[in-house]
Amino acid sequence: MEAAESLVARLTAELLKAMAHPVRIRVLDLLLHGESSVGALAEALGMEISHLSQQLGVLRRASVVETRRVGSTVYYSVRDPRMSHLLATARQMLASTLEDSRDVLVTIEDMERLSAGTPSTR
């Protein structure tokens, strides 16, 4: 059982590592709206095709995206539509963390004002 759990943990880490780049997240955001060619993605992201192709290759090797070729044009799509839920959950977690950080900063500012004898602006 431990070996299976270890394998699942390693594969999960590899999946998340493949997604762990701002360009790859932006690519996934675009692809969640539908299939797109490399050229269209490069234009939408303002990137050179060579750099984008490297990023797409990482996602493809991790089976996050899949390809379809029509003539010389390669189209990419998200392999699993649940990717939208994964990204939405990550963003919700980030928003909560940022909100918590904001609350801590406001509290520190209030404490600094009190110790300086300045009333709170809230």
Instruction: Print pLDDT tens along the chain (122 aa).
Output: 789 899 999 999 999 999 999 999 999 999 999 999 999 999 999 999 999 999 999 999 999 999 999 999 999 999 999 999 999 999 999 888 887 777 666 777 777 777 777 665 55
- Helix, strand or coil, per DSSP, at residue 104: helix
The count of domains in the chain is 2
- The CA distance from 9 to 3, in Å, is 10
- The CA distance from 109 to 52, in Å, is 43
Contact 55, 45 (CB under 8 A): no
Q: Same domain for 74 and 91?
A: no
Q: Same domain for 74 and 87?
A: no
Q: Same domain for 50 and 7?
A: yes
Q: Same domain for 72 and 96?
A: no
* Nearest partner of 110 among 97, 99, 121, 98, judged by Cα: 121
Q: Same domain for 96 and 109?
A: yes
- Report yes or no on whether pTM surpasses 0.85: no
The range of the structural domain enclosing residue 1 comes to 1-79
